[in-house]
Amino acid sequence: MEPEHRRALLVDAFTDAPFAGNAAGVVPNADGLADDQMQAIADELAVSETAFFAETDAADRRVRYFTPTTEVDLCGHATIASHAHLLDDGVIDPGTHTLETNVGVLDIDVEADGTVWMTQNDPEIREVDLGYERVADALGIDHAALEDVGADFPLAVASTGLAFLVVPVNFLEHVSAMDPDHRKIEAISEDVDAAGVYAFTFDALEADSTLHGRMFAPAAGVPEDPVTGTASGACGAYLREYRAFDGEFPDEMRFEQGHFVDRPGYVRVRIGETVRVGGRAVPALDGELRVPEPDGDDEIIEA
């Protein structure tokens, strides 16, 4: 029997230039693929997340997201990347599209210029009782870099569909110097029931940026994610919760990420009645994969 072939792409999100931002795998037609086949494809594509699209009666389309080692409930950059591809491919037109995910049906707004906006879930924020020494040790920096801003911006888990431990840091030099211990980060993530750790500083590289972030999710098979849409939405909600700005909250923020892994990208974040993250995306690779035979028990392969 000839092996089955499926179209697969790599699309760089939160950038308008290839080989920047965050690369996402996109499988536009995943109907009929078993869990272990999707996991094997995500492992082969070897990017932080791959989006698999299928038909559904609940929305315009159904998506599932896999890292190289596991399935995750939500992924911002793969959502932006895939809808930018669908627009380029003529599958969808500009406008609002519905997407069934593991956390519910979300609205995806696609603009004529290729900008894609993802509406995330309502924010959930809870402070956590973690010592600055433990968190700083896991990140490989001095704990004073966290304590310096901790009075105004506490350690908290924020979620708009996927939970992250939000860690404010005083200066960019400490964010850039992070040398994370992935086993310790994984342990912290498990202790606070979060997908990963999102560290940020208002001391950004570019004047137009609100902050600079880095995200580590080794428990999900992602040692460092270049640019993270779900974490950006969660951090935006965190900033509103802790009144990060004098006067009115900004209509739109710009989060920069990925520069220290040579994948610079920018996430547009709007926090109003809903949480929305947006950006552009460009294809880097378009081809076909040979799909492995299913293993028969439809279980996700453990790495």
User: b or e along 235-246 (b: 16 or more beta carbons within 10 Å of the residue's beta carbon)?
Assistant: bbbbbbbeebee
Q: Which of 2, 49, 100, 299 is catalytic?
A: 49
Alpha-carbon torsion angle 291, 292, 297, 300, nearest 10: -80
d(CA 196, CA 165): 6
Rounded alpha-carbon distances, angstroms, from residue 11 to 20, 136, 151, 207, 280: 10, 33, 40, 27, 10
Q: Is 49 a catalytic residue?
A: yes
- Cα separation, 158 vs 42, in Å, equals 27
Catalogue the active-site residues. Answer: 49
